[in-house]
Amino acid sequence: MFVVLLRHGIAHPRGTKPEEERDLTDVGHRRMKEVARGLANLFPKAGALLSSPLLRCVQTAEWVEKAYGGKLAIDLRDELRPEGDRAALPALAESTHRQRVIIVGHEPWLSESIQRPELELKKGGCYGVRITDGEMRLEWMLPPRALRKIRTS
């Protein structure tokens, strides 16, 4: 199984709105549209799209859903909230019964869930993780700038 862990786009700063209501900024929307297109080109055979239910992740997942032409439906999962169980990632991905999964979430949840707390994704960046028998192996990491460039390839 292969999983892409995607960090949500640029959102309004903490403290400006309640956490549940923090949404993407105009720049966040524009960049996530480009990032999502790049992701669809890089990872065309995705079979599932999971997202944290927080608004900024849902909006990010909506751009991914559009980039895949509506072939993926967003599945909101409470486990992906910032306070969620980091050890749940393999079981969460495997619960989709798909070989290729995109998961939209938050930092540091994403880095800690793959046991790489020394790393941190930029907003709109992603990890490529292979899961075999419950063991995770980070295969690549892409910043949002690279994904935006891939969008037109």
Q: What φ, ψ does residue 141 adopt, rounded to 5°?
A: -140, 130
**Domain CATH for 135:** 3.40.50.1240
Looking at residue 152, what is its pLDDT?
60
- Per the document, the length of the chain is 153
Give dist(CA 23, CA 149) in Å, integer: 24
19: confidence class by pLDDT, cuts 50, 70, 90: confident
**Rounded average pLDDT over 13-38:** 95
Percent over 70 (pLDDT), the chain: 98
Range of the domain at 92: 2-150
The secondary element (H helix, E strand) that includes residue 114 is none
Residue 90 backbone phi and psi in degrees, to 5: -60, -45
Give the residue-averaged pLDDT of 40-59.
Answer: 97
Does the pLDDT value for residue 34 go beyond 70?
Answer: yes
- Nearby residues of 91 by Cβ (< 8 Å), 6 or more positions away: 134
* Per-residue pLDDT at 150: 86
151 has a pLDDT exceeding 80 = no
Which of 131, 125, 97 lies closest to 3, judged by CA?
131
Across the chain, what does the average pLDDT equal?
95
What is the domain count for the chain?
Answer: 1
The per-residue pLDDT for range 122-144, each reduced to its tens digit, is: 999 999 999 998 889 999 999 99
In this prediction, residues 24-46 reach a mean pLDDT of 96
Q: How far apart are the first and last CA of the chain?
A: 25
